[in-house]
Amino acid sequence: MLIYKILRPAEWAALRSQGRTAGAPVDIADGFVHFSTAAQLPGTLARHFADEDGLTLLACDAQTLGNDLRWEPSRGGDLFPHLYRPLDMTDIRWTREITRGADGHDTGPLE
């Protein structure tokens, strides 16, 4: 199963240059890297990134993240994937730009 991380331009640039990241400021404050499932992604975009452009979508295989990935209740009691270690470039299966149109953000096809 793929899970997804959204990064702002500076966060994506830092990950590419350093090879790993503790995440966005909210991730660092919370002590884990926030991810979303395909079903949760539209809500995450609407709630946390509504007016932002230049976003990058990262897809990771949940199974390969091992015991550092925990599924914990969050928004609406839904179980969200949280990674309790830095995210490495080697964890990422693919990336793509999230475009924005008249109907909001477009992530392209998801698993």
CATH code for position 28: 3.20.170.20
Domain for residue 63, yes or no?
yes
Is the confidence at residue 103, as pLDDT, over 90? no
Is 64 contained in some domain?
yes
pTM above 0.85, yes or no: yes
CA distance readout (Å), 51 to 36, 42, 48: 19, 13, 9
In this structure, the number of other CB atoms found within 10 A of the CB of residue 78 comes to: 14
Output 35 or 103, whichever has higher pLDDT: 35
Q: How far apart are CA 13 and CA 85, in angstroms?
A: 19
CA atoms within 13 A on the CB side of 97: 7
Q: Classify residue 110: in a domain, yes or no.
A: no
Mean pLDDT of 40-64: 96
Residues spanned by the domain of 31 = 2-101
**Structure-block tokens of residue 66:** 């091992």
Long-range contacts of 27-30 (CB under 8 A, 24+ apart): 30/82
Query: Do 107 and 98 contact (CB within 8 A), yes or no?
Result: yes
* pLDDT at residue 7 tops 90: yes
Mean pLDDT of the chain: 96
Total tally of structural domains belonging to the chain:
1
Q: Looking at the domain assignment, is residue 111 inside a domain?
A: no
Structural domain contains residue 67: yes
Give the model's confidence band at 98: pLDDT under 50 very low, under 70 low, under 90 confident, else very high: very high
